[in-house]
Structure 1
Amino acid sequence: MTDIHPDQRVAVLADSQNLYHTAHSDYSRNIDYEGLLTEAVAGRELTRAIAYVIRADAPNEEDFFDALVDIGFETKIKAIKTFGDGSKKADWDVGMSLDAITLADHVDTVVLCTGDGDFSRLCSHLRHEGVRVEVMAFGSSTAEELIDATDEFTDLADNKEQFLL
């Protein structure tokens, strides 16, 4: 696998819902996306940063989306779906996976900011293709199979002051 070096091209894909839920349930705080992006890039060449967000018509939602853009993220926004039984669903698993596979030919490293174990197969695929895969998430809510499938795992809980507001 590729070691880290300054000329390395990096794509950062952030699963905002996954990060939000853990930050709120475990710490009652928000994610510091600027700190997250800085650490993810780690002095390398940023090719693309994408934050996958859900539109839930919450207060200040547009301000949050604008702030992500100001920090350097491209935002991909999906509306939350409400089903007949009242249940709601919104996730970006397929979209994030397709973007990661598409970007794989253009980057040396993909940094996934999520603890969702559904991405472990994606990590294995990317690594098989010669792409370095790093995951940044809260260890308490990160699937073991995801950690096992990466080249490097950063537990955001180990440096809460850098990653939480």
Structure 2
Amino acid sequence: MTDIHPGQRVAVLVDAQNLYHTAQSMHSRNIDYSSLLEKAVQDRQLTRAIAYVIRADSPEEGSFFDALVDIGFETKIKDIKRFSDGTKKADWDVGMSLDAVTLANHIDTLVLCTGDGDFSRLCSHLRHEGVRVEVMAFESSTSEDLIDAADTFLDLGERHETFLL
């Protein structure tokens, strides 16, 4: 696969739920999305930056969604589903995968910000299609299959001062 160069067209897809829960449970801190986007793009040409978020009706989430837009992300928002037995479900796996496959013909590199191993098959598919795949997540909570399926992996946990607020 190709190395990083200034002409590369990059898309950044962020699984905000996945990163949020890891940052909170392991570090009791939040993600610095501005630094995340800057490092993901690295002086290349940003084609799209999409943050996939879940609306859970918490008081500060509106300002969080607005901040993501100010940083340069499009936000895709899904409402949390509550089931009669009290369980909740909300994930963007299928939506993120469809967007990645749709973007594949328009980009050189996809930066996937998640530790979810469900995306390892997507990485393999995109690489087969000639797209460079970079994963940024916390290694301690990232699937080994996902790390192995990507061209490169950046451990957010190694650089707290950069990626955590």
TM-score, structure 1 normalization: 1.00
- Letter matched to residue 2 of structure 2: T
Counterpart mapping for 1:108-127 below 5 A: 108-127=108-127
Match in the other structure for 2:4: 4
Report % sequence identity.
78
Distance 2:160 2:110 in 1: 22
**Aligned Cα root-mean-square deviation (Å):** 0.3
Report the alpha carbon displacement of residue 59 of structure 1 after superposing the two structures with TM: 1.1
Structure 1 residue 54: Cα displacement: 0.1
Q: CA deviation at 1:26?
A: 0.2
Secondary structure at 1:13 match in 2: strand
Distance 1:73 1:2 in 2: 25
Q: CA deviation at 1:2?
A: 1.4
Q: Distance in 1 between matches of 2:105 and 2:97?
A: 14
- The alpha carbon displacement at 1:15 in A equals 0.1
Q: Which aligned runs of 4 or more in structure 1 are off by greater than 3 angstroms? A: none
Q: Secondary structure at the match of 1:104?
A: helix
How far apart, CA to CA, are the structure 1 residues paired with 2:36 and 2:114? 12
Deviation, 1:142, is: 0.1
Question: Matches of 1:11 and 1:135 in 2, distance apart?
Answer: 12
The one-letter amino acid paired with 1:128 is: H
Distance 1:81 1:128 in 2: 34
The aligned residue for residue 91 of structure 1 is 91
- Aligned partner of 2:56 in structure 1 is 56
| Aligned-partner residue type, residue 46 of structure 2 | L
Identify the residue that residue 71 of structure 1 maps to in structure 2.
71
- Provide the rounded CA distance (Å) in 1 between the counterparts of 2:160 and 2:106: 31
Distance 1:100 1:37 in 2: 17
Equivalent in the alignment of 2:82: 82
- The Cα offsets for residues 116-149 of structure 1, whole Å up to 9 and x where unpaired, read as 0000000000000000000000000000000000
> d(CA) in 2 for partners of 1:49 and 1:161?
22
Residue 137, structure 1, aligned to residue 141, structure 2: no
Three-state SS of the structure 1 residue aligned to 2:48 is strand
Deviation at 1:72?
A: 0.2
* SS of the residue 2:64 aligns to: helix
C-alpha deviation, 1:5, in angstroms:
0.2
Task: Measure how far apart 1:3 and its partner are.
Answer: 1.2
Structure 1 unaligned spans of 5+: none
* Length, aligned pairs only: 165
